[in-house]
Structure 1
Amino acid sequence: MAKDAYFIYPKDVSAFGFDWGKLSLTVAPEVNCANRFSGGVVDLPSGKGHARHNHPGAEEIIFVISGEGEQMVEDENGNPITTKVGPGCTVYVPESRFHSTKNTGAEPMQLFVVYSPAGPELALRELPDFRLLPPGS
């Protein structure tokens, strides 16, 4: 594998753009041949967030890099658990559980997300507000 496949910056890959923000996949089969997980950087502008959704058959880790917001994860009975999150917080989303994130702060919120196994992020291409942004956008 080429050296540049090991060291990826979000600005160097195309991003998934949405009305609520963007996802820059920095680890994925199509980026660097990762096959057991995928992940990348999510940027949420102030007041924006992604709606309640799930990833059937996949777990997710969300790490808050910067900003603050509200994170919802459903428990095993389908009850929503919502809490405030900020830099340094790691959120675990069990397999197939519904969850949502909203930036409630005045500054942009940045997250690093990991999906296991790789692949559920590709379903985001089917959303009506999806657009593929060129590297550096």
Structure 2
Amino acid sequence: MTRERNFVYPKEVDTFAFDWGRLALTVAPEVNGASRFSGGVVDLQKGHARHNHPGAEEIIFVISGTGEQMVEDEEGNPVVRKVGPGCTVYVPESRFHSTTNTGDGPMQLFVVYSPAGPELALRELPDFRLVPPAA
């Protein structure tokens, strides 16, 4: 069965699994030919450590759950805000950030990277596991 490349469900693609949660890339060069950005659904169990994406911007949209989002300001000072469903977070190019799940259940996010590619560095993390799509 051939899947239409413009309409993708998270269960149809490989999932990047980590101790902190999962990322299913639904928009990426290898998924549907997107070249200027990539993105996907994150299921966040606990939270992920402070990190950055050199040369890339990120958008984080909170679908469900509650948490605390940190994004460093221009001087490198951490700015932390409570976030919940409907909140959009903009992470400027190369800026350090982290997300902590403060709710009782998983937190679900949709993330977008521009340009495409910084998510591929996640494959180098020690707790990375590739989970194929469900049969």
> TM-score w.r.t. structure 2 length?
0.97
Segments of 5+ residues of structure 1 without an aligned counterpart are: none
Moved over 6 A (4+): none
Q: Which amino acid aligns with 1:56?
A: P
Q: How many pairs does the alignment contain? A: 134
Name the % identity: 81
Structure 1 counterpart of 2:32: 32
In structure 1, distance between residues paired with 2:133 and 2:101: 24
Cα deviation, 1:15-58, whole Å, max 9, x if unaligned, reads 0000000000000000000000000000012xx01100000000
Structure 2 counterpart of 1:133: 131
In structure 2, distance between residues paired with 1:107 and 1:130: 22
- Give me the CA root mean square deviation: 1.2
Structure 2 counterpart of 1:63: 61
Segments of 5+ residues of structure 2 without an aligned counterpart are: none
Alpha-carbon deviation of 1:3? Answer: 6.0
In structure 2, distance between residues paired with 1:110 and 1:4: 24
Structure 2 counterpart of 1:16: 16
Structure 1 counterpart of 2:4: 4
> TM-score w.r.t. structure 1 length?
0.95
